[in-house]
Amino acid sequence: MNFVHDGLAKEFEHVTREGERKHIGELFESGDALMQEIAYDLINGDHEGVDRLTKQALEDGYTANAILDDGLIAGMAIVGVKFRDNLIFVPEVLIAARAMKAGMAHLEPILSASGVEPLGTIIMGTVKGDLHDIGKNLCIMMLRGSGFIVHDLGVDTKPDEFVDAVMEHDAQIVGMSALLTTTMPNMGVTIEALEEAGLREDIKVMLGGAPVTESFAEDMGADGYGDNAIEAVDRAKEFVGTFSEDGVNPD
């Protein structure tokens, strides 16, 4: 790591796990002052700062990919660690997400036009009967920022809507969210619907949401569980790493 921004260096002290220090530290290896300022402003939810600095970086000749990776995603990685370790909570994550959106508004048109091959296609939705979407939306933002195409089915998504979307978009991954213990069983119902439609063998399913646990995800027949948006990205990357080059699920 190579910190030239004192505030960011202090933020990095919150990253204490060895593997994460190495991984996140590498994101700041370039020691670029402007990228580190963007990351710092994002961590602190300064959306006006991120908006202004992203615009400035593009004018200065930074590529959209560099700003995304070295500024926004690097900052969001520290936000993810702080959230997981209960150093910050959802309001603080929401203002960081708002700042990320401000930066992405400048980058997305450039990234879309660049024709970079996406990492994979994901269908995301909150399950039937559940209208909560904050966690799902954070995951979607991070997944898109990480190079996935994500089709957001919104809230209160019926099992057949997941099935139809997988077929329509030829998706490799389905991500489901639930906030209520009363609606969590609908995750299992949706997985059954994917099985009945003959799609289960071709896709990976990941679950998340405040009351969802890894063991519940296993019980429901999912392939993976993410405790937060960063983990959702990790799971999705692991999944696409398991697919063969023609996109076929080897399991």
Partner 1 sequence: MTLKETMTSKERVMAALAGKPVDRPPVANPTNVMTVELMDMVDAPFPDACRDPEMNARLAATGYTELGFDVISPYFSIIQESSALGCDMQWEQKDNWPTVRMTNPIWKDEDDIEVPDDFLEHPDNQAIIGSIRILKEKYGDEVAIVGKTMGPWTLAYHVFGVEPFLLMTIDDPELTLRILHKLKVVTVLFGRAQIDAGADILTLPDHATGDLVSAEYYRRFLQDIHVEMVEKLPVPLILHICGKTLDRMGYIAETGMAAFHFDSKNDPAEAMEAVDGGITLVGNLNNPETLYAKGPDAVREEVYRALDAGVQMIAPECAIPLRTKLENLLEIPAAVKDWSEENL
* Residues of this chain that bind partner 1 (CB under 8 A): 45, 86, 88-92, 94-95, 98, 128-134, 137, 155-156, 180-185, 210-211, 213, 215-216, 219
Contact criterion met (CB below 8 Å) for 132 and 181: no
The span from the CA of 45 to the CA of 49, in Å, is 9
Residue 127 CB, shortest distance to partner 1, in Å, is 11
Q: Which two tokens stand for residue 154?
A: 């919104």
The span from the CA of 211 to the CA of 182, in Å, is 10
Residue 215 CB, shortest distance to partner 1, in Å, is 7
Which residue matches tokens 């063991």?
215
User: How remote is the C-alpha of 184 from its chain's centroid?
Assistant: 21
Nearest to partner 1 of 121, 177 (CB atom): 177
Nearest to partner 1 of 70, 130 (CB atom): 130
Residue 230 CB, shortest distance to partner 1, in Å, is 16
How distant, in Å, are the alpha carbons of 77, 100, 152, 166 from that of 122?
Answer: 21, 20, 9, 8
Nearest partner of 208 among 194, 193, 222, judged by Cα = 222
Nearest to partner 1 of 35, 88 (CB atom): 88
Nearest to partner 1 of 230, 240 (CB atom): 230
Question: Across the strands, what pairs with 175?
Answer: 124, 206
The span from the CA of 134 to the CA of 119, in Å, is 24
Nearest to partner 1 of 114, 181 (CB atom): 181
